[in-house]
Amino acid sequence: MIIYIHGFASSGLGDKPKIFKKYFKNGIITPSLSTIPFLAIHTLEDLIEVFLAKGEKVSLVGSSLGGFYSLYLANKYKLNAVLINPALNPKQTLSKFYSFGLVKNYFDNSNFEITQEQLKSLENFQVSLIQNPKNIMALIQKGDEIIDYKESLEILKDCEIIVEEGGNHSFENIEKYLNKINNFFK
């Protein structure tokens, strides 16, 4: 089973998850996660453990903050993961773009609160050493307006990395990589 992990202030029902659902059909789930990091990780750990207990292979696809969560979970459970424009220093990245208080959800325009404690809690999921770099593939576009792609290249230097000129934080034309992602997971 593939678990798609969306980014900050997003949803498992967004455009990119829909693209993945269309391609992978019943082989993927795209949960909408809590904006509170500990709750999001807890939900993902529960899902992973249920699938593993059933003897299923689990792979992860994570976009932005979902890439950060994916790296942590891939390291913890020795899973394959594809990271799409991952926010590998999310506390720093989120602090640049958001102040504390109410933040708008990109999917449904609802508001939720981001607190100093929530940002600090992200430190609990920071990966200092990637245990199995061959399990990680990163898709990075240099035109990402939110994340400095050079940070990702440094952190993921021992992993498979595909870097494209241009693009944006959403990762334009992700469809052209679906076959490659599928093959990476096999």
Q: What is the pLDDT of residues 92-131, one digit of tens each?
A: 877 665 566 667 777 777 777 788 888 889 999 999 999 9
Rounded to the nearest angstrom, the gap between the alpha carbon of residue 100 and the centroid of all alpha carbons in its chain is 22
Q: What is the mean pLDDT of residues 163-179?
A: 96
Condensed to tens digits (0 to 9), the pLDDT of residues 28-65 reads 999 999 999 999 999 999 999 999 999 999 999 999 99
Threshold 0.85, pTM exceeds: yes
Q: Which domains does the chain have, with CATH numbers?
A: 2-90+135-185 (3.40.50.1820)
What local confidence, expressed as pLDDT, does residue 97 receive?
A: 59
Question: How far apart are alpha carbons 117 and 31 in whole angstroms?
Answer: 24
**CB half-sphere exposure, 45, CA atoms < 13 A:** 10
The band of 155, judged by pLDDT with boundaries at 50, 70 and 90, is: very high
Average pLDDT, the chain: 93
Q: How far apart are CA 30 and CA 13, in angstroms?
A: 7
Ramachandran sector of residue 173 (left: φ over 0; alpha: ψ -120 to 50; beta: rest): left
Structure tokens at 130: 């990637």
